[in-house]
Amino acid sequence: MSYQHIVVPVDGSDTALSAIKQAAQLAKAFDSKVTLLCVISVDPFVGIEFFNAAEISEQYLTQARDNAQRILAKALQSFAEFDIQADQKIIEGQIIHEEIVQAAADLNADLVVIGSHGRKGLKKMMLGSVAQSVLGEIHTPVLVVRE
């Protein structure tokens, strides 16, 4: 099987870096197109009433966009070390895993390479797992990479 287009969601974590390295090796082997994806949760204050929520939300979004640019720049640098060019995309949405699933479909990805923190027990129950949620909803093949 040949992977024509690999999508790699990144969040700046060490596990995302591990996913980047795996994706780079696959992209090199299959001469695949790569799209780096960074998802920003648009409104982390949903359900919370703040007196000046609009101002706080705008400050949050500005910082989140800047952070996403830094994350993508670092990821692009990692791919450059493998002599691979990658496209980049910042998506703003409510639920991160749903945005990843939709982006993979919209981009006609053949493979999604995603990092997993490997949380277990109470941490997994409390914090959830984006990778696990993606696996539960996506129709595209997924490679889950742990640190």
Q: Where are the domains of the chain?
A: 5-146
For 36-52, how does the pLDDT look when each residue is reduced to its tens digit (9 = 90+)? Answer: 999 998 865 555 555 55
**How far is Cα 58 from Cα 13, in angstroms, rounded to an integer?**
24
* Residuewise pLDDT in 10s, the chain (147 residues): 789 999 999 999 999 999 999 999 999 999 999 999 999 988 655 555 555 566 667 888 899 999 999 999 999 999 999 999 999 999 999 899 999 999 999 999 999 999 987 556 555 544 458 888 999 999 999 999 987
For 54-67, how does the pLDDT look when each residue is reduced to its tens digit (9 = 90+)? Answer: 666 788 889 999 99
The DSSP string of 16-85 is HHHHHHHHHHHHHHHT-EEEEEEEEES-TTTT---TTHHHHHHHHHHHHHHHHHHHHHHHHHHHHTTT--
- Whole-angstrom CA distances from 51 to 15, 62, 63 are 37, 19, 20
Assign domain 5-146 to its CATH superfamily.
HUPs (3.40.50.620)
On whether the CB atoms of residues 38 and 72 are closer than 8 A, the answer is yes
On whether the CB atoms of residues 147 and 45 are closer than 8 A, the answer is no
CA–centroid distance for 118 within its chain: 16
**How far is Cα 134 from Cα 146, in angstroms, rounded to an integer?**
15
